[in-house]
């Protein structure tokens, strides 16, 4: 693991079930999902991280996934409840993030991934056995393109970092938990 060392522990007293984490591309902010929202940590790699704010998210019921666009402007958070919602936070790298909105999507969005160019958002829907592909992810207002059947209970999803194939130039790798 090279030169990795333990740095610090940050106590999040009133934020229960810290579960998922995403770091902005500039490394200045970490987004940590909790049972009732997302906690934004500033100075993630400065050696003295601190809590900047907590953004409450209604009906979150536990986050199942989180991702940040490559330009750091938007953070997407997926829920694991049957009434799946994707929350969108704007100004993710600015130090002044805020909730932009939310939209509904299929059932149990277990994984989120954004293409390296920020154009497409992929959502694995473990309750429906498909992934949802949305365009315009870098705008904070993604547009539904299609659902693609991928197997039984898709959960993890990742996009290769270089445009090397497929009709849009990237490959999506999907982990199905049952087949």
Reduced DSSP (H G I as helix, E B as strand, rest coil) percent helix, strand, coil of the chain, to 5? 0, 45, 50
Residue 57 to residue 55: CA distance in whole angstroms:
6
Q: How confident is the model at residue 6, as a pLDDT?
A: 55
Q: Which of 13-27, 95-109, 144-158 has the highest mean pLDDT?
A: 144-158
Task: Tell whether the model's pLDDT for residue 86 goes beyond 80.
Answer: yes
Q: How confident is the model at residue 109, as a pLDDT?
A: 77
pLDDT digits (tens, 9 = 90+) for 27-83: 899 998 887 788 898 986 776 888 888 888 776 566 778 999 999 999 998 887 666
Q: How confident is the model at residue 24, as a pLDDT?
A: 92
Calculate mean pLDDT across residues 142-155.
90
Residue 119 to residue 134: CA distance in whole angstroms:
8
Calculate mean pLDDT across residues 143-152.
91
Q: How confident is the model at residue 172, as a pLDDT?
A: 82
40 membership: H or E segment, kind and range: strand 37-42
Closest by CA to 51, choosing from 59, 42, 60, is 42
Q: How confident is the model at residue 61, as a pLDDT?
A: 64
Record the tokens describing residue 111, joined without a space: 């994984």
> How many CB atoms within 10 Å of residue 1?
4
pLDDT digits (tens, 9 = 90+) for 109-118: 788 999 988 9
Task: Tell whether the model's pLDDT for residue 139 goes beyond 80.
Answer: yes
Q: How confident is the model at residue 164, as a pLDDT?
A: 56
Q: How confident is the model at residue 15, as a pLDDT?
A: 57
β-pair partners for 77: 66, 87
Sign for the CA dihedral angle at 79, 136, 98, 96 comes to: positive
pLDDT digits (tens, 9 = 90+) for 4-42: 555 666 666 555 677 788 999 998 999 988 877 888 989
Q: How confident is the model at residue 178, as a pLDDT?
A: 81
């Amino acid at each position: 693991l090279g030169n990795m060392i333990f740095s610090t522990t940050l106590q999040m007293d009133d934020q229960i079930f810290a579960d998922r984490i995403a770091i902005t591309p500039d490394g200045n902010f970490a987004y940590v999902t909790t049972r009732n929202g997302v906690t934004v940590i500033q100075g993630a790699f400065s050696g003295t991280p601190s809590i900047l704010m907590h953004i409450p998210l209604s009906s979150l019921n536990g986050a199942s996934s989180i991702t940040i666009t490559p330009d750091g402007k938007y953070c997407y958070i997926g829920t694991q409840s049957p009434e799946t919602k994707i929350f969108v936070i704007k100004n993710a790298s600015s130090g002044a993030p805020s909730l932009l909105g939310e939209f509904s999507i299929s059932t149990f969005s277990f994984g989120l991934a954004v293409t390296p160019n920020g154009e497409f958002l992929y959502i694995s829907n473990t309750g429906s056995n498909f992934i949802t592909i949305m365009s315009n992810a870098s705008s904070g207002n993604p547009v539904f393109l299609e659902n693609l059947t991928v197997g039984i209970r898709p959960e993890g999803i990742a996009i290769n970092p270089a445009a090397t194939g497929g009709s849009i130039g990237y490959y999506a790798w999907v982990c199905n938990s049952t087949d």
